[in-house]
Amino acid sequence: MSITVVGSVAYDSIETPSGRRERCLGGAATYFALAASFFCDVRVIAVVGEDFGPEQETVFERHHIDTRGIERAAGKSFFWEGSYLENLNEAKTRNTELNVFATFEPKIPEAYRDSEFLFLANIDPVLQRRVREAMPQVKLVAGDTMNYWINDYRPALLEVLKGLDILLINDAETRVLGENQNLVKAAKAVMSMGPRILVAKHGEYGATLFHSQRNGAMGERTFRAPALPLEEVVDPTGAGDSFAGGFFGYLAAQKELTPGVFRRAMFYGSVMGSFAVERFGTERLEQLTRAEIDERFVRFRELTHLD
């Protein structure tokens, strides 16, 4: 099985209490693709500028990620600069340059059209919807968004939500989108907008999967995966996208999507998120092995299981 992901491939300049990195490879689609690549084939739809060189290309190649959908446009790649000096849990954006992303028109290579899994990373909901509609054959669609789109582009976002099976967002976004301070009530409201599954990410406290089937008995369908208590978070950038990549990548690699498979997917999501924050940018994901992933999966089980 393969996943097609549409989203940003970018350069990030990041400052955290552990240090600073200039123009490292970043973007939601990059983190997602790297994390998912340990589980299944991944195909990327994005746009980059003339500054995107062989070094960056190699990162994708080494993980056998299909980059035929990454368009090269005249100009510079999307650039983001952020700081976690004040709060490791929330980036403070210092600068965003859309560059080639400002006029991005996603083009889907013919070779991608048999993908059964589609991930709509956090981009303009108008683009998310266009890609969704251009790939009617997919059997499972997941997506992400952020407060910027929730607050200012709600009608367009609501259209996207109608076409989603799974939405992965954080607690604050869930509360704003669901217009309720109570996370469970907000989750229900969000699921009434389309996605039958909502994965609410709690940062250092893990994530909860809410399922909309069987009204009134959601507790039985709810599943909570922990995060690993870490002594050092070097760089939180991409943790959520890496979670999504581990979660959706694991799902795409399974024969059947049983409740047990979704539970394991939550664990693999948490596992990939916990690796992503150990070093700057994509450094840790680039050097990761499947053996390390499985080892940490066992550790997550020990962290939460009674026996």
Residue found under tokens 């490292």? 24
Residue 235: CB minimum distance to a second copy, A: 14
Per CB under 8 A, the list member of 105, 110, 152, 232 interacting with a second copy is 232
Please state, in angstroms and rounded to a whole number, the distance separating the CA atoms of residues 78 and 73: 11
CA distances from 218 to 129, 181, 182, 252 (A): 28, 18, 15, 25
Single residue of 93, 137, 181, 289 touching a second copy by CB under 8 A: 181
Tell me if 183 contacts a second copy by CB under 8 A.
yes
> Which of residues 291 and 306 has its CB atom nearest to a second copy in the complex?
306
Does position 299 bind a second copy by CB under 8 A? yes
The correct pick among 96, 151, 213, 304 for binding a second copy (CB under 8 A) is 304
Candidate list 90, 107, 179, 260; residue touching a second copy; CB under 8 A: 260
Site for a second copy contains 256 (CB under 8 A)? no
Give 103 or 304: the residue with its C-beta nearer to a second copy: 304
The CB-of-287 to a second copy minimum distance in angstroms stands at 20
- Contacting range for a second copy; rule: CB under 8 A; set: 93-101, 126-134, 177-185, 286-294: 177-185
Looking only at residues 184 through 223 of this chain, which bind a second copy when binding is defined by CB under 8 A? 184-185, 187, 202, 204-206, 208, 210, 219-220, 222-223
CA distance 81 to 93: 6
- Closest approach, Cβ 278 to a second copy, in A, equals 13
Number of residues that bind a second copy (CB under 8 A): 37
DSSP letter for each residue of the chain: -EEEEE---EEEEEEETTEEEEEEEE-HHHHHHHHHTTTSEEEEEEEE-TT--HHHHHHHHHTT-EEEEEEE-SS--EEEEEE-SS-TTS-EEEEEE-GGGGG------GGGTT-SEEEE-SS-HHHHHHHHHH-TT-SEEEE---HHHHHH-HHHHHHHHHT-SEEEEEHHHHHHHHT-SSHHHHHHHHHTTS-SEEEEE-GGG-EEEEE-SSTT-HHHH-EEE-----S--S--TTHHHHHHHHHHHHHHT-SS--HHHHHHHHHHHHHHHHHHTTSSTTHHHHH--HHHHHHHHHHHHHHH---
Residue with Cβ nearer a second copy (151 or 182): 182
Window 62-101: contact mask with a second copy (x via CB under 8 A): --------------------------x-------------
Which residue among 263, 287, 294, 295 contacts a second copy (CB under 8 A)?
263
Instruction: State the minimum distance, in angstroms, from the CB of residue 219 to a second copy.
Output: 6
Binding stretches for a second copy (CB under 8 A): 88, 181-185, 187, 202, 204-206, 208, 210, 219-220, 222-224, 226, 228-233, 260, 263-264, 267, 299, 301-307
